[in-house]
Amino acid sequence: MPHTLIRGGTVVGPTGSTLADVLVDGEQVAALLRPGDTSLGADLAATAERVIDATGKYVIPGAVDCHTHMELPFGGTNASDTFETGTRAAAWGGTTTIVDFAVQRTGERVQDGLAAWHAKADGRCAIDYGFHQILGGVDDDSLKAMDELVTEGITSFKLFMAYPGVFYSDDGQILRAMQKARDNGSVIMMHAENGIAIDVLVREALDRGDTAPYFHGTSRPWETEEEATHRAIMLARLTGAPLYVVHMSAKQAVATLAQARDEGWNVFGETCPQYLYLSLEEQLAARSEEWGDFEGAKWVCSTPLRSRAEGHQDELWRYLRTGDLSVVSTDHCPFCMKEQKELGRGDFSKIPNGIGGVEHRLDLLYQGVVDGRITRERWVELCCTTPARMFGLDGRKGVLAPGADADVVVYDPAGRTSIGYGKTHHMNMDHSAWEGFEVAGHVDVVMSRGRVVVEDGMYHGSPGHGRFLRRGLSAYLR
């Protein structure tokens, strides 16, 4: 592959920003050079096969989305993005690596679930990808499989305290999985909601005739998230296992996690753009000519949106600044309204849970920079560097340094992005959860392992370019 010089830009990393040129050699970053540096030759621009002008723009590592669900079977249907369409959309938005979830359902072999996800993704991804493993049943066989998968580069395992009868694990099963993770160095990822209590609240709401999408959120109140988060932390503390709590939305749950971190426990939390920007109030008010009050189904996800009046969104931004929330992922789990979300007309509990956002995370978090919520260095840390380090990709992904994969984004802070269906929307969905959002910034160029996949508003990628990533152990646990 040719030498490429990205010159004139401001390289932004988690620890600072500096004017620098980036030299790419084949699939890797070869050097970061001060402007005018001639140590590698008198005129690199004249000898490079390609020069990308980044003057006035930011040059950052390709973003890493460590929580996506392509083709996930859920709620009687499947997530609408395939690995081909979903990774293409990710590339459009400056994400050059995803870590998706292979699924083991209760009664299935873990290895068979992983093999099924390899078959879905192999030869179809536009960007590099890895897998976490969902454990739908913790028993002697699945515990042995955890050791086997770690040697294959699957070094994180997701458990659910929600969805009884589907993915739910009881406290004894969680305890056993955490003991195994403690011994083999893997990370336990936890969906922390009290699913047993939620099922009672859902039934009571439906019996009252509260069937609209809004009641999905009110039947999963913050107490069910906070309680489950506390219980997961106590089990992790008991076993000495590392814990990563996914898609945190309630400020009380994050406060519990922050206290555990202050006490020195190896617990981490992620949140998602929907919890930073969207709210229950807006979901309640949502109406359209086509869907009526069912319009709110577009924003049904679990954990649910929270009340703006209660201040959850502002508190989550604060926890991003303090470092108590470590990562922003998307939990990308897209469903179309027609023939998918509409399965829950008249019964919110049958609406497939999920929001599509793999294309928009980098832009939405950059708006937080513009608004003074976070620094641009923290933006890169949350979207690129920490996800890579958390899940065993440090040194390869999420950083611009010699020897790292040449996953590079040129981001224009003077640009503008209008988000919505038919605008900057390349996900396989018939709507956008972010309709009408305006971002003061724009992804201009995206490189994946040295190959330009997005430039000048054109897509140049292809299915099969993306490679499976065998991940190491977390950099935070060694």
Residues 6+ apart with CB under 8 A from 183: none
Q: Provide, rounded to the nearest whole percent, the portion of the chain with pLDDT above 70.
A: 98
What pLDDT does 48 receive? 84
How would DSSP label each residue in 18-38?
EE-EEEEETTEEEEEE-TT--
What pLDDT does 42 receive? 57
What pLDDT does 478 receive? 59
Report how far residue 229's alpha carbon sits from residue 174's, in angstroms, rounded to the nearest whole number. Answer: 13
Residue 400 lies in a domain: no
Q: Is the pLDDT of residue 36 over 80?
A: no
Q: In 10 A of CB 38, how many CB atoms?
A: 9
Residue 324 lies in a domain: yes
Q: Is the pLDDT of residue 382 over 90?
A: yes
Least confident of 161-170, 271-280, 318-327: 161-170
Number of H-type helices and E-type strands within the chain? 15, 23
> Using 50, 70 and 90 to split pLDDT, how confident is the model at 41?
low
* 333: exposed, middle or buried (Cβ count in 10 Å: 0-12, 13-18, 19+): buried
What pLDDT does 190 receive? 98
Question: Which stretch of DSSP H or E encloses residue 274?
Answer: helix 273-277
Q: Is the pLDDT of residue 229 over 90?
A: yes
Residue 259 lies in a domain: yes
Residue 207 lies in a domain: yes
Q: In 10 A of CB 419, how many CB atoms?
A: 22
SS (H, E, C) 362-429: HHHHHHHHHCCCCCHHHHHHHHHHHHHHHCCCCCCCCCCCCCCECCEEEEECCCCEECCCCCCCCCCC
* 395: exposed, middle or buried (Cβ count in 10 Å: 0-12, 13-18, 19+): middle
Residue 9 lies in a domain: no
> Using 50, 70 and 90 to split pLDDT, how confident is the model at 35?
confident
Between strands 128-135 and 156-160, the pairing is parallel
pLDDT digits (tens, 9 = 90+) for 319-358: 999 999 999 999 999 999 999 999 999 999 999 999 999 9
In contact, 327 and 273? CB cutoff 8 Å: no
Averaged pLDDT, 23-35: 94
- Phi/psi at 413 (nearest 5 deg)? -70, -15
Residue 13 lies in a domain: no
Residue 405 lies in a domain: no
- Domain housing 352: 61-390
Strand partners, 24: 4, 29
Report how far residue 29's alpha carbon sits from residue 405's, in angstroms, rounded to the nearest whole number. Answer: 6
DSSP annotation of 468: B
The one-letter amino acid code at 93 reads G
* SS3 call for 268: strand
Strand partners, 77: 74
In contact, 236 and 178? CB cutoff 8 Å: yes
pLDDT digits (tens, 9 = 90+) for 208-227: 999 999 999 999 999 999 99
What pLDDT does 72 receive? 96
Total domain count, the chain: 1
> Using 50, 70 and 90 to split pLDDT, how confident is the model at 460?
very high
What pLDDT does 341 receive? 97
Q: Look at the pTM and tell me if it is higher than 0.85.
A: yes
Least confident of 42-51, 216-225, 300-309, 341-350: 42-51
Rounded to the nearest integer, the mean pLDDT of the chain is: 95
What pLDDT does 170 receive? 97
> Using 50, 70 and 90 to split pLDDT, how confident is the model at 2?
low
Helix 312-322, helix 251-262: angle, nearest 10: 20
Query: Helical H runs in 122-241?
Result: 140-151, 171-184, 195-208, 214-218, 222-239
CA distances from 397 to 27, 65, 308, 384, 413 (A): 12, 11, 35, 8, 23
Residue 201 lies in a domain: yes
Averaged pLDDT, 150-176: 96
Output the CA torsion sign for 315, 317, 318, 319: positive
CATH of the domain at 225: 3.20.20.140
In contact, 238 and 322? CB cutoff 8 Å: no
Q: Is the pLDDT of residue 430 over 90?
A: yes
